[in-house]
Structure 1
Amino acid sequence: MRTVRFFSLRRSWPWLAFAFVLVVAAVLTYTQQWLGQAKYWADEDNFDQTERDASIWLPGYRPVIQAKPLKDLEDDETSDLTYNPDTKTLFTVTGKEPLLVELSLEGDVLRRIALIGFSNPEGVAMLSNGNMAITDERRRTLSIFKLGPVALELRAIDTREFDLGYADSGNKGFEGIAWDPAQQRLLLGKERAPTAMFSWSSDGTSGLEGKMEPLPSNELYMRNISALSVDPRTGHSLVLSAQSKLLLELDEHGQPVSFISLWGGMNGLHDSIPRAEGVAIDEDGTIYMVSEPNLFYVFRKDKNADPL
């Protein structure tokens, strides 16, 4: 019996070692995440009131709409969000059934646009002059187009498509996309493996210039990137992570400024946001968010809010 156990253990030790490595990697990942957030918290104290007033300053935000269901989208999985300043409406995309959905600022569904020829749309952004962009994670493409005011379908073949590369990324491709008018570029966020941000020069219409360039992403301390948005007032970026339950503000140089936790009991949230997949900010600084499967949130600045 002892001999049998010896050989059984010898055969299984590679699997035990592999399991041990996975556990250690998971612990290190979570440790790095929480240490990173602790660093954000400590760094916030270095900003004086003038600097805070010149930023988005997320600790002052509180939810005014929480977990409102988006009608008839519970089976479609909403992903990403963008704000259209011309129509004062929002747009989201859905992955299970490829749709582009127009929403009111209160989270009411106004229009459903069928995305013909798209596979897994994950990112959406308003550009300039009425142009929009959609990233398709499975096809690894970025599509730029103009959407008519009453259009009910959009065909991929009628858009201008660009290859995002990372052919082996599978379901870990580009989810975040945002238009940065001040720096004339598109910001792109790769979900994970690796979690990273990129920029691509553009005039915000139908063209992209040069090639996609990596941005410093070492201080994100996020398990994934779900969505991106750019504040039209400050030029600062919002980076959303569903797995880390975190919304992070970066300045125009990509340095962390402030953050807000999306766990229940924090920052006025009754319950944790299940899986935050989209974020947008308007010209007044109001922040909008969507979570899978179909939940809608609105955050506004409360100057008297306690940052905890």
Structure 2
Amino acid sequence: MPPALRKPTVLALIVMAGAAAALSAVLSPPALVGGGLLARGYVADIDRAPIHEVADNLSGLTYSDATGTLFSVTNRPPQVVELTPDGQLVTLIPLDGYLDPEGITHVAGEVFLIADEGDQSLHRVTINAGTRRLAAAPDTRVATGIGAWRNMGIEGISWDARHGRLFLAQEMLPMRALILEGFDSAARLTSAAPQVSEWYPASLSSLETLDLSSLTLHEATGHLLLLSHLSSAVVEYDQTDRLIGRMGLGGGQSGLAAGIGQAEGLAVGPDGSIFVVAEPNLFYRFRMGSPLP
């Protein structure tokens, strides 16, 4: 493929190739079982709020119950971005030695994992109130062994504390969610390399999502939420991998005045609030219309 054919062109080709499947989804979408988070009628109460201290490339999102704050990353420059639950900046932490950080997940306490799409690796880091910079180190780097074309690799990461494993989202070519196992409760490897398997229910296809830009595991229910910026949607799967919910992110949907152009990060708070960040530097919060039982 010639060098001039960059990601926007590839995305256009993917969209064109998936047009027939998308039309099929409109005419005969997969049945929703219901009963999950997204059945609670989410509405945006913070819509398209800019994070002025961040210029561009906001990506990935996770909620830390240790601090009550959210963490995201940017890749140019590489840094961690800490935010309050209403989208106000807490701090910026420069990242040294990272190629293309695209995702971050909270593990426990002060421990996080950062996904670097540049070499499809993970970095185990400690972040606390005294952290001013973070440097990539060989002894805390985990090679995933995931092959990916250009920047079509790891876009989302979420820690599953109950089972001591990771969920990863690969954007496309192929679009898939992966499970990485072989960690202890603090996300340290217990073997030479993680064991990688594919999480791929039949309904995870272009009928539901044209790409995967992020994902998050809701620990309280064990449900997996997937974000697709090309499809402008969040979809929800239960513990038996059944599709049970969908939240639209287009203009006029879910209380949004305009559609979210490039949603890149997804997290759920302890009260069930859903947070989304989007390029270049936009923050969204969705509140559920009816509480969880």
Question: The TM-score by the shorter chain falls in which range?
Answer: 0.7 to 0.9
In the alignment, what sits opposite 1:219?
Answer: 203
User: Does 2:165 correspond to 1:185?
Assistant: yes
Task: Tell me, in whole angstroms, the C-alpha distance in 1 between the residues paired with 2:167 and 2:107.
Answer: 11
Q: How far does the alpha carbon of each residue in 1:56-107 deviate from its partner, in whole angstroms, 9 at most, with x for none?
A: 1256101000000012212x31001000011100000001110001101110
- Residue 215 of structure 1, CA deviation: 1.2
Question: Which amino acid counterpart does residue 273 of structure 1 have in structure 2?
Answer: I
Q: For 1:243, what is the secondary structure of its paired residue?
A: coil
In the alignment, what sits opposite 1:236?
Answer: 223
- Does the 8 Å CA contact 2:121/2:142 hold for their aligned counterparts? yes
C-alpha spacing 1:286/1:139, structure 2 compared with 1 (3 Å): same
2:276 to 289, 297, 306: 289
The two structures, once aligned, show a CA RMSD in angstroms of: 2.3
C-alpha spacing 1:24/1:186, structure 2 compared with 1 (3 Å): closer
User: Quick check: which one's helix share is greater?
Assistant: 1
Which is higher, the Rg of structure 1 or of structure 2? 1
1:26-105 residue pairs with structure 2 within 5 A? 26-36=15-25, 40=29, 43-44=31-32, 46-47=33-34, 52=35, 55-58=36-39, 60-74=41-55, 76-105=56-85
Task: Tell me, in whole angstroms, the C-alpha distance in 2 between the residues paired with 1:168 and 1:200.
Answer: 16
C-alpha spacing 1:169/1:217, structure 2 compared with 1 (3 Å): farther
- Residue 159 of structure 1, CA deviation: 5.8
Q: Report the number of matched residues.
A: 274
Q: For 2:270, what is the secondary structure of its paired residue?
A: coil
C-alpha spacing 1:274/1:59, structure 2 compared with 1 (3 Å): farther
In the alignment, what sits opposite 1:3?
Answer: none
- Residue 147 of structure 1, CA deviation: 1.5
Greater mean alpha carbon deviation, residues 192-201 or residues 162-171: 162-171
1:115-154 residue pairs with structure 2 within 5 A? 115-154=95-134
Q: How far does the alpha carbon of each residue in 1:133-179 deviate from its partner, in whole angstroms, 9 at most, with x for none?
A: 01110121111122132211100017611112244521101111001
Question: Which amino acid counterpart does residue 207 of structure 1 have in structure 2?
Answer: R
C-alpha spacing 1:267/1:60, structure 2 compared with 1 (3 Å): same
Q: For 2:275, what is the secondary structure of its paired residue?
A: strand
1:201-216 residue pairs with structure 2 within 5 A? 201=181, 202-209=183-190, 210-216=194-200
- Residue 23 of structure 1, CA deviation: 9.8
User: Does 2:262 correspond to 1:278?
Assistant: no
Q: For 2:172, what is the secondary structure of its paired residue?
A: coil
Greater mean alpha carbon deviation, residues 61-70 or residues 161-170: 161-170
Task: Tell me, in whole angstroms, the C-alpha distance in 1 between the residues paired with 2:14 and 2:115.
Answer: 30
Greater mean alpha carbon deviation, residues 139-148 or residues 288-297: 139-148
- Does the 8 Å CA contact 2:201/2:242 hold for their aligned counterparts? no
- Residue 26 of structure 1, CA deviation: 4.9
C-alpha spacing 1:24/1:269, structure 2 compared with 1 (3 Å): closer
User: Does 2:87 correspond to 1:107?
Assistant: yes
2:178 to 198, 201, 207: 198
Q: For 2:24, what is the secondary structure of its paired residue?
A: helix
- Does the 8 Å CA contact 1:77/1:96 hold for their aligned counterparts? yes
Greater mean alpha carbon deviation, residues 229-238 or residues 30-39: 30-39
Task: Tell me, in whole angstroms, the C-alpha distance in 1 between the residues paired with 2:115 and 2:25.
Answer: 29
Structure 2: gaps spanning 5 or more residues: 1-10
In the alignment, what sits opposite 2:5?
Answer: none
C-alpha spacing 1:132/1:159, structure 2 compared with 1 (3 Å): farther
1:235-274 residue pairs with structure 2 within 5 A? 235-274=222-261
Q: How far does the alpha carbon of each residue in 1:213-263 deviate from its partner, in whole angstroms, 9 at most, with x for none?
A: 111154223221111111122110110011111101111232211001111
Q: TM-score, normalised by structure 2?
A: 0.86
- Does the 8 Å CA contact 1:59/1:258 hold for their aligned counterparts? no
Q: TM-score, normalised by structure 1?
A: 0.82
Task: Tell me, in whole angstroms, the C-alpha distance in 2 between the residues paired with 1:138 and 1:192.
Answer: 15
- Does the 8 Å CA contact 1:80/1:277 hold for their aligned counterparts? yes
Task: Tell me, in whole angstroms, the C-alpha distance in 2 between the residues paired with 1:118 and 1:56.
Answer: 35
In the alignment, what sits opposite 1:13?
Answer: none
- Does the 8 Å CA contact 1:111/1:152 hold for their aligned counterparts? no
Percent of pairs identical after alignment?
30
Q: For 1:288, what is the secondary structure of its paired residue?
A: strand
In the alignment, what sits opposite 1:161?
Answer: 141
